Amino acid sequence: MFNHTFLSRLFLIGLGVVGIYTAVSEVPPEEVSLIPCLFHSLTDVVCPGCGMTRACIALVQQKFDAAWGYHPFSFVVVGLAIAAAFFPMWLKNTWTRRSPLTQNLIVISGIILCLSIWFMKIKNLLG
């Protein structure tokens, strides 16, 4: 029913539709508000994922500098979605061939990088 491949394809189709719509209607990514951030709504502080939707839409519109500015991890998210959607066995085999230590290091590095980006965004907002 709902597996990683299906969800990745659904994500990419949805992203493509929204990206094409915003490009055709000339709506800039910063004006797109699809999913309100509950964390930001409750705390008035940006969350670690704030900017990801705008970044992914900017990627579809081929505005790579803007995407990087909104959230650098958008490149990773879209890349993993493409791999999971079209090359699921390759992605699974690539991950499972790694030792548990390497897998843990990759996950921990990703978390540290994401939190670092978050802290930098908060620092920039505070001035």
The residues near 110 (Cβ < 8 Å, ≥ 6 apart) are 76
The 10 Å Cβ neighbour count of residue 99 is 8
pLDDT tens-place string over residues 2-59: 788 999 999 999 999 988 888 888 887 777 777 788 888 898 888 888 888 889 989 9
> Please, what is the end-to-end C-alpha distance for the chain in angstroms?
47
Count of domains in the chain? 1
Mean pLDDT value of segment 73-102: 95
State the residue range of the domain holding 46.
4-126
Distance CA 63, CA 114 (A): 21
pLDDT of 1 over the 70 cut: no
The 10 Å Cβ neighbour count of residue 77 is 17
The residues near 21 (Cβ < 8 Å, ≥ 6 apart) are 27
Confidence of residue 110 (pLDDT cuts 50, 70, 90): very high
